[in-house]
């Protein structure tokens, strides 16, 4: 940390590629052999990180043509890429077909019809999954927790016990088709000759630390798949999405991958249908491998509240409902007790630029100190408001086997003006001179 802080100026993200390798190895060691591991590029699409995971043997989960290009550039095989997400346009679907993408996850019968027309035009039969919004899910599932503004993390300073995970009736969702309408939608897909329905995709859990919760959710997915097979639609592929979590504080225990791997086979035991399975891992793969480093530029008080102003902000690390995760931090070189409560604010000209409230910092924190926020390898750089107030993008640096290299140069001012034009300012310099002359005349008269 100190080496990176001294060597590279300005706010930056630091990633440990060795940690990424360890996380992948855990998955590969404990997941059954009928599981394929995909890396979810939305977590972090840096080319170096993508290339590392492609080398390890991952497939890729993408949600845009930009992510598709990043995956192909960094060594992922097109046949092992799965295209997920709502709102796919015809042009995106056409590119996916042209590139020979392995699987496209359908969100509706309407999307299926559009894809079928394109597949027919290109003379191809496209493998697809249908995403299903299950009737029942856990009370701690992702969409429910997002609506409660607590998705993906717990507050390490809270003394309240975690809510018990219960099975409850699902909520409405923009993703997929409702379970009670699934057969109706599957019948439409099955009738389209240029589509090959391989299976289903169900993803409701996010950042789960209790492996039993994930086992329950995945068991429900298998039950839904079995019922579809029972009705005569042969499916053999299950995409469980992600869900395996990481702790965002020093208190929570990590996901017990070993116990999960030991228990997982039993949910397939004596099942009437064999399945090949997919998992989409982003946070678990890269989250703990990254941290965000920035500098204290001001310290002030307002109505008794201490504010630490950072050379950074939500334009570089935007966590929304995960704000308390930023309490997992350290001030470099300060070994004393963290006994002073403060709010970490960024440099943007908006009151929304608060990175975390009520965080404990050292009493002797001072301007110029370097602050590290941990577990930012996923949903850090990619989720930030990078164009707010036109501050430079942070650099990205990677550590691997004792060496440290910059993998994304820090941004510069010109980055914000790429692809912009001034079509109505044909003689901008003369307009500026005329405006200045008029202003000077008015000033002279007023004086």
What are the two backbone dihedrals, phi and then psi, of residue 305, each rounded to the nearest 5 degrees?
-95, 130
With a cut of 90, say whether residue 416 has pLDDT above it.
no
> DSSP of 330-399, one letter per residue?
EETT--S---EEEEEE-SSSSTT-EEEEEEEE-TT--TT-EEEE-S-SSSSGGGS-TTGGGPPPPEEEEE
Where in the chain do CATH 3.20.20.10 domains reside? 77-281
Provide CATH code, domain 288-417.
Answer: 2.40.37.10
Question: Would you call 208 helix, strand, or coil by DSSP?
Answer: strand
Look at 194-203, 308-317, 331-340 and tell me which has the smallest mean pLDDT: 331-340
CB 205 within 8 A of CB 213: yes
- Amino acid 430: pLDDT: 65
| Per-residue CA distances from 120 to 106, 107, 116, 255, 389 (Å) | 16, 19, 6, 45, 46
> Which ranges in the chain are annotated with CATH 2.40.37.10?
288-417
pLDDT tens digits along 203-214: 988 899 999 999
Q: Cite the DSSP H helix spans in 74-108.
A: 90-98
Tell which residue, 247, 281, 280, 288, has the closest CA to residue 376.
288
Model confidence over 238-260: pLDDT tens digits? 999 999 999 999 899 999 999 99
What's the mean pLDDT in 359-386? 93
Beta bridge partners of 103: 82
Residue 222 has a CB neighbour count (10 Å cut-off) of 19
Cα(342)–Cα(340) distance, integer angstroms? 6
Tokens encoding 70: 């990043």
Would strands 237-239 and 195-201 be described as parallel, antiparallel, or unpaired? Answer: parallel
pLDDT at 10: 79
**Both structure tokens of 149:** 């503004």
pTM of the entire structure? 0.87
Residue % of the chain over a pLDDT of 90? 74
Q: What 3-state class would DSSP assign to 392?
A: coil
At residue 441, the pLDDT reads: 58
Give counts: helices (H), strands (E), the chain. 12, 20
Nearest to 71 by CA among 90, 96, 91, 45: 45
Do residues 245 and 209 touch, judged by C-beta distance below 8 A?
Answer: yes
**Per-residue confidence (pLDDT) for residue 150, from 0 to 100:** 41
Which band of pLDDT confidence, cut at 50, 70 and 90, is reported for residue 104? very high
pLDDT score of 345: 97
**CB distance 336 to 414 below 8 Å:** no
Q: What is the pLDDT of residue 421?
A: 83
Helices of type H across 248-344: 257-263, 283-286
In the chain the first and final C-alpha atoms are separated, in Å, by 58
pLDDT of residue 160: 35
CATH number of the domain located at residue range(s) 77-281 in this protein:
3.20.20.10
Distance from C-alpha of 218 to C-alpha of 212, rounded to nearest angstrom: 10
């Amino acid at each position: 940390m100190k080496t990176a802080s001294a060597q590279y100026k300005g706010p930056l993200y630091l990633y440990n590629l060795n940690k990424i390798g360890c996380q992948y190895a855990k998955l590969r060691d404990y997941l059954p052999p009928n599981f394929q591991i995909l890396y979810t590029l939305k977590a972090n699409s840096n080319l170096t990180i993508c290339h590392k995971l492609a080398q390890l043997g991952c497939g890729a989960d993408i949600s845009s043509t930009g992510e598709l290009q990043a995956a192909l550039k960094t060594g992922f095989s097109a046949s092992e890429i799965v295209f997920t997400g709502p709102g796919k346009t015809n042009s995106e679907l056409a590119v996916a077909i042209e590139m020979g993408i392995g699987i496209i996850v359908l969100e509706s019968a309407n999307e299926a019809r559009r894809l079928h027309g394109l597949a027919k035009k290109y003379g191809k039969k496209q493998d697809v999954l249908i995403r299903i919004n299950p009737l029942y899910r856990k009370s701690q599932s992702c969409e429910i927790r997002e609506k409660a503004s607590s998705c993906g993390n717990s507050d390490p300073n809270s003394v309240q016990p975690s809510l018990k995970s219960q099975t409850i009736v699902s909520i409405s969702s923009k993703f997929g088709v409702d379970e009670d309408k699934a057969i109706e939608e599957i019948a439409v897909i099955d009738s389209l000759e240029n589509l090959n329905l391989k299976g289903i995709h169900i993803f409701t859990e996010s950042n789960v630390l209790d492996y039993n919760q994930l086992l329950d959710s995945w068991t429900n997915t298998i039950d839904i798949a079995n019922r579809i097979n029972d009705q005569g639609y042969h499916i053999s592929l299950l995409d469980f999405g992600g869900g395996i979590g990481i702790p965002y504080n020093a208190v929570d225990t990590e996901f017990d991958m070993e116990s999960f791997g030991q228990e997982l086979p039993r949910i397939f035991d004596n099942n009437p249908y064999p399945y090949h399975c997919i998992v989409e891992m982003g946070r678990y793969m890269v989250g703990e491998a990254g941290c965000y480093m920035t500098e204290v530029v001001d310290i002030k008080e307002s109505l008794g509240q201490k504010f630490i102003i950072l050379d950074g902000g939500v334009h570089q690390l935007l966590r929304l409902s995960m704000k308390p995760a930023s309490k997992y931090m350290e001030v470099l070189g300060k070994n004393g007790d963290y006994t002073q409560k403060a709010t970490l604010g960024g440099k943007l000209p908006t009151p929304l630029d608060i990175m975390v409230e009520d965080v404990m910092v050292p009493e002797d924190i001072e301007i110029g100190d370097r602050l590290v926020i941990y577990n930012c390898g996923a949903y850090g750089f990619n989720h930030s408001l990078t164009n707010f107030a036109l501050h430079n993008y942070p650099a990205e640096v990677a550590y691997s086997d004792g060496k440290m290299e910059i993998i994304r140069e820090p941004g510069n001012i010109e980055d914000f003006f790429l692809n912009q034009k001034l079509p109505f300012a044909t003689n901008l310099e003369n307009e500026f001179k005329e405006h200045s002359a008029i202003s000077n005349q008015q000033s002279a008269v007023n004086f």
